[in-house]
Structure 1
Amino acid sequence: MNFTPASKVIVQGIMEPLGVTYAPLMQAYGTHIVAGVSPGFGGQMLNEIPVFDMLEQALPLVGAIDTAIICNPPYSALDAALEAIAAGVRQIVLISQGMPPLDMVHLIRKAEATETLVVGPNSPGVIVPGQVLLGIHPPELYMPGSVGLISRSGTLTYEVAWSLTQAGLGQSIAISIGGDAIVGSSFPQWLQILDEDDQTDVIVLVGEIGGDSEEAAAHYIAEAIDKPVIAYIAGRSAPRGRRMGHAGAIIDSQVADFGPDIGTAESKVTAFKRAKIPIVDRPSDIPAMVKKLLKHPARRSAG
């Protein structure tokens, strides 16, 4: 993980609506954006950021790039990501929403072969409060601190961060892994990263109904994570078996062949309780639980 103010960042699709809106905001926060890529716009500037037609054209001028932020439309996002990987970029943040599932399968295989960390798609990205913004998080909701925040939902990430900030509990980093059905990096990957991060003392995991990523996370925490973890599951009151509006978040478990219970709020809550992970009923309960764990940071024992 290399998310610092010194990290060189490139924005692909910088002249798309997302890029035009958020590249200047990231830059204003302190993110070191060295170039943008948008075919057909080469030679132009956006907020003093040079724009190139192709990523490889930027390399001789800006050198090796640490992170690519992709704002391309979903059907061209795969090409942008593969272009970044071919250029040696090993951290990719996919803001794009609704990437075709087979494109994501292709990208994940390529990312695994090249040891590339992929955040998203359908993600607001990553923020290290007070240092660097890689995506579209509203930075005014965050403050520097020692709470690591991992979520599937962007808006829930913001809500939990703001509740922590209001309670005087800053965040070491906040990541939304993305709301699409297939995402590049998982809860276990980020749990391991935060477990090894010296700036993080406690981890907050915000899950949702649908899929089995929270059950997998609970199992992984019990087996491999030493730092204290708090969990919150959104959607407990959603009608069972009904598809809701949040993209990719709620999957009919029978259709997905997970069985009748995996993916429900009950299944996820049970998984965390079985792993002896504190679970709160609502986001507003998180700060009090964090304070309790910071006062008594009993390390979890593996097993």
Structure 2
Amino acid sequence: MAILVDRDTRVLCQGMTGWAGTHHTSRMMEYGTSVVAGVTPGKGGRSHLNLPVYDTVAKAAAETGANASMIFVPPAQAAGAMIEAIEAEIPLIVAVTERVPALDMVRVRQALNGSRTRLVGPNSQGILAPGVCMIGVMATGSAREGSIGIVSRSASLTSEVVAQVSAEKLGQSTTVGVGGDPIHGIGMVDCLDLFLADPETDGIILIGEIGGSEEQDVAEYLQGRKMTKPIVAFVAGQHAPPERRMGHAGTLTLYGRGDTNSKIAALEKAGVRIARSAHLVGATMRQALIPTH
């Protein structure tokens, strides 16, 4: 069983008529995702990719039964698109847009408070439940149905780890890219909680990186809890120079905070098994699933 999505997920795409929205919506449809509409203000009443286009999310959801939104809207307008979907009570939003201004995301987080919406992203590669549903830009070639849940802060490492897990003949229940920006929607702890409750997820992989405190939040969440499923983590950025942003906005260590070593130490103390190199994640998960007596 997947988390966040299932076979009843019906997706609308905000920004579907742009080049990126068109390309990735087509990929999702080819994969088998049920995409039911597009939303582009001023283009309501038209058809695109043989799907109806609406001016507003509320009207699109009311007429098509959409219960998820993928956002391909430029950074300056992305927060407005997210807030529109939140106000339309869309249960799930996947925001792919990168470089959304931090102050705009503060407004989005305020809109999420008390709402019925879960936000994944922004700067997320999306969600993939193999054979069930794909929302976003995630590569699907190596994905296989299986029992390992993956939650990642790194888009590039996600593809590598998915391939390793499939090569170990474990497969994935769901892979979630939580997004690399410092202010975003659901995080590692939220996904971990969902995976621990999912009866068809037997093991969990966390792909972390420098910057922020997501990995320490996971360690705090696990402290004092009985470990019901093996959890493996890899934290990228061991040799990254301090106080220098590496890639996207969230990969920044400041004044000794957010570094790899402190994250690994916290996770190990909480009972998480650490993969010491990126190429060992799949094998470490396989070993973690072997019962010990």
The answer on whether the counterparts of 1:104 and 1:184 sit within 8 Å (CA) in structure 2 is no
Q: What SS is found at the alignment partner of 1:295?
A: coil
Displacement after TM superposition at 1:222 (Å): 2.8
Residues 232, 274 of structure 2: 8 Å contact kept? yes
CA distance in 1, matches of 2:284, 2:221: 21
Q: How does 1:138-149 map to 2 (within 5 A)?
A: 138-149=139-150
Is 1:12–1:38's contact at 8 Å kept on the other side of the alignment?
Answer: yes
Residue 268 of structure 1 is aligned with which of 263, 268, 283? 263
Tell me whether 191-200 or 53-62 shows the greater mean CA deviation. Answer: 53-62
Residue 37 (structure 1) aligns with? 39
Aligned residue runs from structure 1 range 104-123, under 5 A: 104-123=105-124
> Is contact 1:2-1:66 (8 Å) kept?
no
2:113 counterpart SS class: helix
Which one of 217, 226, 229 corresponds to residue 228 of structure 2?
A: 226
* 1:227 Cα deviation after fit: 1.8
Residue 13 (structure 1) aligned with residue 8 (structure 2) = no
CA deviation string 1:9-36 (max 9, x = no partner): 1111111222111001101111111100
CA distance in 1, matches of 2:238, 2:196: 28
Q: Deviations over 1:86-133 (max 9, x none)?
A: 222111111011111122112112213113211000001100011100
* Structure 2: distance between partners of 1:78 and 1:223: 37
Unaligned runs of 5+ in 2: none
Match of residue 283 from structure 2: 288
Q: How many percent identity over aligned positions?
A: 34
Tell me if structure 1 keeps the 8 A contact 2:210–2:253.
no
Q: Flag as ranges the 4+ runs of structure 1 deviating above 4 A.
A: none
1:22–1:135 Cα contact (<8 Å) kept: yes
Alpha-carbon displacement from aligned partner over 1:58-105 (angstroms, at most 9, x marks no partner): 234213x21111111111111111211222211111101111112211
TM-score normalised by the chain length of structure 1: 0.91
The residue number in structure 2 matching 1:129 is 130
Contact 2:83 2:108 in 1 (8 A): yes
Query: What SS does the corresponding residue of 1:114 show, helix, strand or coil?
Result: coil
TM-score (norm 2): 0.94
Q: CA RMSD in A?
A: 1.7
**How far 1:292 sits from its partner (Å)?**
1.8
Aligned residue number for residue 166 of structure 2? 165
Shift of 1:243: 2.9
CA contact (8 A) 2:234 2:277 kept: yes
Tell me which amino acid in the other structure corresponds to 1:239.
P
Secondary structure of 1:109's aligned partner = helix
Q: Tell me by how many angstroms 1:134 deviates.
A: 0.8
CA distance in structure 1 between the partners assigned to 2:4 and 2:182 by the alignment: 26
Equivalent residue pairs, number: 290
Q: Which amino acid aligns with 2:51?
A: I
Shift of 1:2: 4.4
Aligned residues of 2:11 and 2:34 also touching (Cα < 8 A): yes
Q: Provide the rounded CA distance (Å) in 2 between the counterparts of 1:252 and 1:149.
A: 24
